[in-house]
Amino acid sequence: MIYVVGLGPGGEDQLTPRALAALGRCDVIVGYKTYIDLIAPRFKGRKELVVSPMKGEVRRCEDALRRSREGCTVGVVSSGDPGVYGMAGIMLEVAAGHEEVIVVPGVTAACAAAAVLGAPLTHDFAVVSLSDLLTPWELIARRLEAAAAGDFVICLYNPMSHGRPDNLRLACETLLKTKSPDTAAGWVRSAGRDGEEAHLTTLGELAGEKLDMFCTAIVGSSATKVVGGRLVTPRGYQRP
């Protein structure tokens, strides 16, 4: 048995009871070091914790499959939700139906960041990762253009890194072809974790922000506004 478990934003209070129960049934828990560190205080000494490096996702899943076939119940962990830029897809591909895999959802970064900023995702929204490690930038740009043309609220994952210092600026320039520079926006660093930081801004100003891989940015639709210091996208309910 293999459980692919979403750890949520990182705080233990945001780990779902179902996720905790699944991890409690595991003999071995495997994951990227940052994610293992999130659960180590609870499970160290009680479970075998196996750390694997960044870019080792396929090997991690192959190791989980091997251990499961040897008779272990294995947990594969992701931050946020494992089905949103997480480990669920690759684990299902590696297992290919030959081993039981249960996906346990978690609170993803879009929802965690939105809650900190207010309620920007109350209407239709799109989620786009700005990491071009696995996706060509040309495809990312086309997706941004389509989301902007559709007037979606747009949630941006992986906005910048040392190896991709210009991607956020390029993304904002792409959105500005369609959207106003005054479009309400915001970003959150380490949502749901120690050191959480949040700022409201505009699309025009967002291009100059110095963000990192711990940040999630949200660019509003034409209807998104700031209400009492919080970012809100109206749902359209009739008010008496």
Q: What is the pLDDT of residues 7-45, one digit of tens each?
A: 998 778 889 999 999 999 999 999 999 899 989 988 988
CB-based contact 21:93 (threshold 8 Å): no
Please determine, looking at this structure, whether the domain spanning 109-232 carries the CATH number 3.30.950.10: yes
Q: How high does pLDDT run on average in the chain?
A: 94
CB-based contact 58:105 (threshold 8 Å): no
At residue 228, the 3 state secondary structure works out as coil
CATH of 2-104, one of 3.30.559.30, 1.20.1560.10, 3.40.1010.10, 3.30.200.20: 3.40.1010.10
Q: How confident is the model at residue 53 (pLDDT cuts 50, 70, 90)?
A: confident
pLDDT in tens, 140-191: 999 999 999 999 999 999 999 888 889 999 999 999 999 999 999 999 999 9
| Residue 52: C-alpha distances to residues 41, 58, 189 (Å) | 18, 10, 24
Burial of 229 (0-12, 13-18, 19+ CB in 10 A): exposed
Question: What's the rounded Cα separation, in Å, for the pair 119 and 103?
Answer: 27
Q: Could you tell me the residue ranges of all domains in the chain?
A: 2-104, 109-232
Q: What is the pLDDT of residue 67?
A: 97
